């Protein structure tokens, strides 16, 4: 076995999507490959839901059709990302092993008939997926068309948790390994509260249905356990493949769209990071969340190029109102992903399914065929991407880091927090959008995992759970000259969801010069103001805090609301740097006033492009690339220089990007923050 | 056995209601029959919930009280519609046969203590209802008072579906009969999607709890299966009765108020159609839905007179706010039903129950007794109906047909459609109300069941599911000179919920000259306009489509919204007729502009009565009857001629109907569409 | 054994809270007792959740830590309210006796991990709590620090009902005892409706999951059964303690905050009444409900002083938005409780928990420690209470009685009432708030339990269920000269939720001179007016009635709405008194016009203090005490005389109470209603 490569063997920017030939007769396959060539498709994912076709009865395999289609694709120069079908065990499997079905928190056993998620703890399931992955790898490990392995599909979606008896046994074992002793568990969970002390490991049950809320530390550990179990299942398949095959192995994440997998940990297990992304229709600015997801994906990939494994050509089917993309929108989405590090642009799926739960999901080839706007845009995008091969492998660099911690998300979402209205994701988005509108590119980081010293500014939204270790890293970052902006409800609890000794924010006291005596949520619909030291008044709602200053200066003060007259925003000099604390909820608009001051401390100067025009740079070895995406309904003119790779048009600092349009400039290497 | 008659042996328009003497001591019975005579009651339904009284222990029967009350009614000249009690098996039955209880989709077994719906698939239940129906028919088949049989009660309400093990076994058997081979089932359900292919019949489970949405074709078949099972239960009872009794047999439908029984199929099984109808309180114009339900009931009855088995004298008890009827409203409701074909006006129930779940349901005899507005109106209505005996047997005739297909409803309501905001029932009502306000009488039809050629206009709202066969019938109808108006989201899928080859609307391409490339739902709360070719602008919301014209002309164009500038309403000449397509959601008001144009194509001229005045004609052999119901708060004057049967007042074309009043004119036979 | 005392042996007004030392190491205990002394704490509740600490394995006891902490408290002069831990059986208990877990109505078994509520019907549970209570009482019955016993915690919260098999068996037994014969049960439940007649006791199941609504009389009895079961569990513990210990025994109620225990019955079982109270955050005037709860607690205590066992220093943690108390609010709350009869002011809890579900619940000692506003207010309150020792034992006297009947609440909340919008609690609050704003002090009463003749006015809101016996007592009260005000939807049903013979309000016909023919709920959002006989128009919504006058005069008439033109408010002379009926829903503001008239009939003259200033008097043997709480944001001046015990400041009729402030005047004994 040679060492696995970290990128599939495909020329240029890969283009394509999921391909499910088993849904169609062979004559359609011939049309498929012809149209794939017309569209410029170079890579398709095959076999993700094919278990029942590959193993129609336990132990009986049928690879003839898969051989056939892979061969056909190969003949036509289209590479294959080969899926393992572990996400969809067949009907016979669940009939044979009913205990492998998932049980929900109310005790209901989830039956067959949708996407057949199995219990991660089922020994029979684990054995079956290892066997299937091994058989596939043995057969296709050397196939010249197969350039990558795609394990499972979107781990944790639609369900990750299992409360069945097999899972409970695994949970008890997991806890033994985590805590060694019951005293350790009892201390970590604070079981003295409500009389929950355990005297035997086997008395610990799952946090399923309970008369009122279950122990939050138990639930937080349950989230970690579930994530660990899913990763264990992935690892089983990965190892089974690696025993026979050297192609890079991935599984498709859903960064900032699914919530029960900690991608910092997952990214360590894959050879190449891939991500699925879908617009959230109720949000008219869903492209901001797209950028966030792309930056997060790149960040968990350690800055290396990544694969956009799935997105949609137009509407999806699983939202309340599935908004179709307008002309040009798919292209903008694709180029934004590319600008933020994606070197492969793939879709779910190649050809729209006539049957099943997702028949209203758009595809590269729609139900109405090729005489459609959609098909013409798909062909156009293929043509665009073919011009962008040189971008491949270049890197995105950022001066600002934003903290992102799935454990804080899990803990924040547990029951009985001070206010239902203060939400991890909403705050994450508000801060990200502020930076996005300012065209300040960010990396996401975890303070216990990353070196913060390379960033001019670190922003910490939604940091309810913050370990002493992370707080120490942030404090050291400030001491060494960094600028830190911490948003409200920060550092309340440690890794066991226990309030920090000394009270809320105690671990950040040195860095910020402030702690919080009490949280002061507002009633639903109430709002008030904070007043900056220059007299500017900003509306806030949802949340205030009773701050206790330990050296910090008040930059803004509450006017009205439960903290009337008290400090709202503080700034503290610590060592060579400054720590800012924002104790309330501000809108993205209102954040502008805060960020203007924080940018100044951090020596950051936003470029001043119109809000809604997205400019991202990728740095190559010898040249840089600037991706410009215009989300506005009017043309914009930007002082950027370079040659648009999409049109070969040269700009000498007066680039015009049409309404809804995009450009990819090839430029000389830029110095970070400087001019080209 | 003589052949069953199709109408119960009752003089004139039957009047009465459900009568539950078992809730009262015998002295109350004597008061009951006295007051029934005072009110003009001629028919009561007895025994619907009496199983526990008739068979207090398994196999032990007690008919003495039933003999007694039927005898008492008979002595007083009141006829009996005798119920079979299969809707309420006794406590001992469920204790003895716990497997006969219904299991819901989450696996919860529904216990005794409410309305004791049993599992339709339980062999013990089926055996028990056959035995009980037989015993009853044997005893009362020749009783002179018993003029009709009333099997069960409101099939499908409150529950129709059962997910228990007996049901699953019946389901597998049903599928075998439907598809013969698993290849057939796999193809019909598109099980290649999400890897659901079945290799054995017994691997097919019910579409109960699943990790995400279950296969939609499976769920659609499950709806068909459930409906078939309920009909099988009905048939068991019907046959058991018919073996001993010749009276007509019915069961009470809930047209357009319950949703899991396909009344086209049910109506074939009964000797006479009967229907229950209740106003939906949140809707201030609920009388429009009453008319819809009445027309639908008459339509499934094949145009023959039908029985209004239940409605309410005033409020019901099971809605969030149970709005009492205002003075005169019960009379208007009753006469509307009569106008639309009901020859029997019955209520739930005779005397208000002191105990139980429905004690706040109004009755003919209210809790407060006879010195009440309600009782006086009940007596008044009896008096009115006694004057209308000649109407009996006359028929309603319609020039317009509206498609109504329960399978399309079931499919439309499955998960993951393009927009939650576009609803079968809302669209059905909007189109019906347009026609209702124009006093254009309609029949409901199913294109694969009915001859459309007798109609000037066919309207197809909510036709998401449309088989190729139905589409061909509609196309032929247009070719032969008919006018067809199809509403949005039409003909997307076939009978297996699979998208039609060629894409949305492909089967209607010839008739309409247009297909749909993509659905374009709007965000919640958004709206835009369509502009008619005469410049009229109409607001729309919820839905737009990306139309692909194949010869049709655009009658209206989108202005704003996701289809800005593209065709919205089209008209196509095909053969001798015209096919219209309306690709968005218009309010009943806005539909007026569309219908004006469509009426012109169809040579329909609405009478021009004030909106809110309802005029319906029934045609007898020698004379016609015109029912006029004034829903307005002011008197109206109408150019109608005839003699008001309620007052003997003659009108020579200047009929005045008081605010909230009604009239029933006896007129010479009218020519369809012409003057008297 | 000496007879139990009715008040714990603590000097003056007791002050303190729940104390859970098991959550902290011993060094913290030393800090705790030091700070308790600083705050003036005299009484703490210990051991409520300590089962797992006291009996770590079945039958193995460990009292060493409890001996230790009780000793430490004793040394420091702090008394102990010793809890029995029956609310939190340990993990081993549920592992050993899985049948002791609670089953919900859907059949889901509630697992361990939150607050471990056990099945009240479990024999093993009952045996275990008896044993534990006995062992504790034997050990601590003579301990000089232990001054009271605190059994269990908030019975009925978070769950009271259990639908498991043990509960069903107990239910059948309970029904046998209640009804003796099945005929009795069948009659009481009206099982003839919907065919529910029972032929064997063991056929009666619990009102768990059913296809539609279950028999309401069954559900009402189920509520009684559940309450009885919980009381049986309490009695088991009480008797086990009393066998060894003479201290007073209590359990903490949640008056008007939990709903499935009938406190009239519970109060008979305890030696001293104690109550927990928490503000309901969405309500900006939640202090009105606080007063209601305090008055209700005093009323169930038969007017004797009671213990405020728990309230909060600031925010709680279990609401959607947990609003912190503003400066002074805790003091106002505490003094209001005291004014309304509480002679002990205790909190949940002494020290904020770092871990567990309630870490965000405020405490006397907050996470942030002693350098906080909260701690300073806690110390201040201790100081205030130390000055109020003479108030102890004085009594509150009221001229007005308000009916409060948990059985009416249970019945009112069953399904399928005429309108979801008319709610027991909302109406109770509206009437109470009217009286509260007028500073008219009230007792709560039950007409079948209390002598009404001592009250000038009796108000009956939310009296949907009213027995003939209660109606007779009210009628006699009016006949003897009383003034009675009955609110809408009154006396509809008897104790079996059966409509009274004669119809709605028939039992009150003599007292009120009016009955109701029909309920006339309004549609959601609709409103109309009533017009008083002096021409005043008042808005109403939700509800109207079709009244039938039997001698009453109409004081107000409907204008608009479903009862347009008919009587809305009536007054009836009966014997020496007057009966008023209000047939619609009026706001607290609008009620002022009605109450002005009713007060006049009752010879009540409100003092005319500003609305929002609360003035309550407690009468001692030799002197009276007037508690004044100013909820307004401005200072008020009141014509009250006396010496403020908090400041020693004397007022000669010109008492100034600062915004948000309070005073406790010591005055000469006042005559009821008169001047000091």
Q: Kindly determine whether residue B321 and residue C524, on different chains, have CB atoms separated by under 8 Å.
A: yes
Search chain A and give the residue with CA nearest C54. A195
Kindly report the nearest CA distance between residue B427 and chain C, in angstroms. Answer: 23
A632 and A596 assigned to the same domain: no
Q: Per the structure block, which two tokens stand in for B205? A: 């489970």
Q: Per the structure block, which two tokens stand in for B63? A: 């008919």
Identity of the residue in A106, A215, A493 whose CB atom sits nearest the CB atom of C357? A215
Q: Where are the alpha helices (DSSP H) in B247-400?
A: 263-266, 286-300, 329-339, 373-386
Here the CATH number for the domain that contains residue C492 is: 3.40.50.880
Alpha carbon distance B514, B551 (integer Å): 7
B83 and B149 assigned to the same domain: yes
Coil vs helix vs strand at B280:
coil
Q: Which of B324, B356, B391 is where one domain is finished?
A: B391
Q: Quickly count helices (H) and strands (E) in chain C.
A: 17, 28
Question: DSSP of B61-120, one letter per residue?
Answer: ---HHHHHHHHHHHHTT-EEEEEP-TTS--HHHHHH-GGGB-B-TTSPBP-SSSS--B-T
Q: Where are the alpha helices (DSSP H) in C260-302?
A: 263-266, 286-300
Q: Which residues, at least 6 apart from A445, have a Cβ–Cβ distance to it below 8 Å?
A: A299, A401, A402, A403, A404, A452, A455, A458
The pLDDT assigned to C262 comes to 98
> Please, what's the b/e burial string for C479-491 (b: 16 or more CB within 10 A of its CB; e: otherwise)?
eeebbbbbbbbbb
Identity of the residue in B207, B417, B522 whose CB atom sits nearest the CB atom of A360? B417
B558 and B658 assigned to the same domain: no
Q: Is residue C332, in this structure, part of any structural domain at all?
A: yes
Residue B325 has pLDDT above 80, yes or no: yes
Q: Kindly determine whether residue B197 and residue A373, on different chains, have CB atoms separated by under 8 Å.
A: no
Q: Which of B374, B391, B408 is where one domain is finished?
A: B391
Contacts of A417 in chain C (CB under 8 A): 360
A79 and A227 assigned to the same domain: yes
Search chain C and give the residue with CA nearest A516. C368
The pLDDT assigned to B675 comes to 45
Q: What is the number of structural domains in chain C?
A: 3
Here the CATH number for the domain that contains residue B350 is: 3.20.20.80
Q: Kindly determine whether residue A206 and residue C111, on different chains, have CB atoms separated by under 8 Å.
A: yes
Contacts of B522 in chain A (CB under 8 A): 321, 323
C348 and C486 assigned to the same domain: no
Alpha-carbon torsion (C287, C288, C294, C296), positive or negative: negative
Residues of chain A with pLDDT under 70: 1-4, 669-676
**Average pLDDT estimate for B380-392:** 98
Alpha carbon distance B63, B61 (integer Å): 6
Best of C368, C369, C376 to disrupt the A interface (most A CBs within 10 Å) is: C368
CA-closest candidate to residue C88, choices A350, A210, B569, B83: A210
Alpha carbon distance A1, A242 (integer Å): 8
How do residues B122-142 score in pLDDT, each as one tens digit? 999 999 999 999 999 999 999
Q: Kindly determine whether residue A193 and residue C85, on different chains, have CB atoms separated by under 8 Å.
A: no
Residue B676 has pLDDT above 70, yes or no: no
Kindly report the nearest CA distance between residue C359 and chain A, in angstroms. Answer: 7
C238 and C369 assigned to the same domain: yes
Identity of the residue in B205, B421, B548 whose CB atom sits nearest the CB atom of A111? B205
Residue C623 has pLDDT above 60, yes or no: yes
Contacts of C417 in chain B (CB under 8 A): 360
**Average pLDDT estimate for C432-445:** 98
Structural domain range at position A28: 14-164+207-392
A299 and A277 assigned to the same domain: yes
Q: Is residue B342, in this structure, part of any structural domain at all?
A: yes
Q: Is residue C181, in this structure, part of any structural domain at all?
A: no
Q: Is residue B8, in this structure, part of any structural domain at all?
A: no
Q: Is residue A3, in this structure, part of any structural domain at all?
A: no
The pLDDT assigned to C5 comes to 81
B225, B226, B227, B230: CA torsion to nearest 10: 120
Report, as residue numbers or ranges, the catalytic residues of B: 154, 310
Counting one residue from chain A and one from chain B, the pairs whose CB atoms sit within 8 A come to 202
How do residues A338-363 score in pLDDT, each as one tens digit? 999 999 999 999 999 999 999 999 99
Search chain B and give the residue with CA nearest A103. B211
**HSE of A245, CA atoms in CB hemisphere, 13 A:** 30
How do residues C122-173 score in pLDDT, each as one tens digit? 999 999 999 999 999 999 999 999 999 999 999 999 999 999 999 999 999 9
Kindly report the nearest CA distance between residue B348 and chain C, in angstroms. Answer: 13
Q: Kindly determine whether residue C107 and residue B112, on different chains, have CB atoms separated by under 8 Å.
A: no
Tell me if the pTM is above 0.90. yes
A85 and A229 assigned to the same domain: yes
The catalytic residue among A154, A161, A545, A614 is A154
A371 and A427 assigned to the same domain: no
**Average pLDDT estimate for C93-101:** 97
C566 and C591 assigned to the same domain: yes
Q: Is residue C222, in this structure, part of any structural domain at all?
A: no
Q: Kindly determine whether residue B281 and residue C523, on different chains, have CB atoms separated by under 8 Å.
A: yes
Here the CATH number for the domain that contains residue C625 is: 2.60.40.1180
Q: Kindly determine whether residue B114 and residue C213, on different chains, have CB atoms separated by under 8 Å.
A: yes
Are C82 and C49 contacting, i.e. CB atoms less than 8 angstroms apart? no
ipTM beyond cut 0.90: yes
Q: Which of A348, A368, A392 is where one domain is finished?
A: A392
Q: Is residue B549, in this structure, part of any structural domain at all?
A: yes
Burial of B470 (0-12, 13-18, 19+ CB in 10 A): buried
Residue C675 has pLDDT above 70, yes or no: no
B516 and B404 assigned to the same domain: yes
The catalytic residue among A55, A161, A237, A310 is A310
Alpha carbon distance A160, A227 (integer Å): 8
Alpha-carbon torsion (B358, B364, B368, B372), positive or negative: positive
Q: Is residue B217, in this structure, part of any structural domain at all?
A: no
Kindly report the nearest CA distance between residue C471 and chain A, in angstroms. Answer: 39
Kindly report the nearest CA distance between residue C278 and chain B, in angstroms. Answer: 30
Identity of the residue in B199, B416, B499 whose CB atom sits nearest the CB atom of A357? B416
Report, as residue numbers or ranges, the catalytic residues of C: 154, 310
pLDDT band at C3 (very low <50, low <70, confident <90, very high): low
C52 and C98 assigned to the same domain: yes
Neighbours of C340 (CB within 10 A): 25
Q: Which residues, at least 6 apart from C108, have a Cβ–Cβ distance to it below 8 Å?
A: A106, A107, A209
């Amino acid at each position: 076995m040679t060492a696995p490569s970290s990128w599939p063997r495909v020329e240029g920017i890969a283009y394509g999507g999921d391909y499910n030939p088993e849904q169609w007769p062979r004559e359609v396959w011939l049309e498929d490959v012809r149209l794939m060539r017309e569209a410029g498709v170079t890579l398709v994912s095959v076999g993700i839901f094919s278990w029942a076709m590959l193993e129609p009865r336990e132990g009986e395999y049928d690879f003839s059709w898969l051989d056939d289609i892979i061969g056909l694709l190969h003949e036509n120069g289209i590479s294959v990302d080969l899926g393992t079908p572990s996400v969809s065990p067949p009907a016979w499997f669940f009939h044979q092993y009913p205990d492998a079905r998932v049980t929900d928190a109310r005790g209901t056993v989830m039956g067959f008939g949708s996407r057949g998620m199995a219990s991660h703890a089922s020994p029979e399931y684990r054995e079956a997926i290892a066997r299937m992955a091994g058989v596939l790898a043995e057969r296709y490990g050397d196939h010249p068309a197969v350039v990558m392995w795609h394990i499972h599909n979107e781990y944790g979606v639609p369900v990750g948790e299992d409360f069945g008896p097999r899972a409970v046994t695994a949970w008890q074992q997991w806890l033994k390994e985590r805590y060694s002793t019951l005293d350790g568990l009892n201390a970590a969970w604070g079981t003295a509260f409500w009389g929950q002390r355990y005297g035997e490991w086997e008395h610990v049950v799952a946090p399923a249905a309970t008369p009122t809320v279950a122990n939050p530390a138990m639930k937080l550990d349950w989230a970690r356990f579930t994530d660990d179990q899913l990763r264990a299942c992935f690892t089983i398949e990965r190892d089974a493949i690696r025993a026979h095959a050297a192609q890079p192995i991935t599984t498709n994440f859903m960064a900032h769209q699914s919530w029960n997998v900690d991608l910092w940990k997952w990214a360590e297990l894959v050879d190449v990071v891939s991500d699925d992304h879908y617009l959230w229709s109720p949000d008219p600015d869903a492209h901001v969340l797209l950028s966030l997801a792309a930056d997060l994906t790149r960040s968990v990939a350690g800055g290396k190029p990544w694969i956009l494994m799935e997105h949609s050509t137009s509407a999806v089917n699983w939202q309340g109102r599935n908004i179709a993309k307008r002309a040009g929108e798919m292209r903008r989405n694709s180029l934004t992903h590319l600008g933020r590090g994606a070197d492969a642009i793939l879709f779910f799926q190649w050809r729209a399914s006539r049957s099943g739960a997702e028949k209203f999901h758009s595809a590269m080839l729609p139900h109405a065929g090729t005489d459609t706007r959609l098909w013409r845009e798909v062909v156009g995008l293929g043509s665009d991407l073919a011009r962008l091969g040189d971008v491949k492998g270049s890197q995105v660099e950022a001066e600002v880091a934003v903290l992102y911690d799935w454990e804080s998300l899990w803990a924040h979402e547990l029951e009985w927090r001070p206010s239902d209205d203060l939400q991890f994701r909403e705050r994450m988005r508000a801060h990200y959008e502020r930076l996005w509108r300012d065209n300040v590119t960010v990396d996401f980081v975890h303070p216990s995992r990353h070196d913060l010293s390379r960033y001019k500014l670190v922003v910490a939204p939604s940091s309810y759970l913050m370990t002493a270790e992370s707080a120490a890293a942030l404090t050291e970052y400030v001491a060494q000259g960094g600028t830190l902006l911490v948003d409200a409800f920060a550092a309340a609890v440690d890794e066991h969801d226990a309030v920090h000794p000394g009270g809320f924010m105690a671990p950040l006291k040195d860095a910020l010069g402030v702690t919080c005596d009490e949280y002061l949520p507002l009633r639903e619909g109430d709002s008030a103001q904070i007043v900056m030291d220059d007299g500017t008044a900003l509306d806030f709602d949802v949340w205030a805090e009773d701050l206790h200053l330990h050296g910090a200066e008040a930059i803004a003060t509450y006017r009205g609301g439960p903290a009337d007259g008290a400090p709202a925003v503080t700034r503290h000099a610590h060592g060579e740097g400054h720590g800012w604390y924002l104790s309330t909820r501000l809108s993205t608009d209102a954040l502008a006033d805060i960020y203007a001051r924080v940018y100044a401390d951090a020596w950051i100067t936003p470029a001043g492009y119109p809000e809604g025009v997205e400019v991202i740079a990728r740095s190559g070895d010898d040249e840089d690339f600037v991706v410009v995406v215009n989300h506005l309904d009017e043309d914009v003119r930007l002082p950027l220089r370079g040659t648009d790779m999409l049109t070969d048009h040269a700009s000498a600092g007066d680039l015009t990007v049409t309404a809804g349009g995009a450009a990819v400039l090839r430029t000389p290497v830029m110095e970070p923050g400087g001019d080209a």
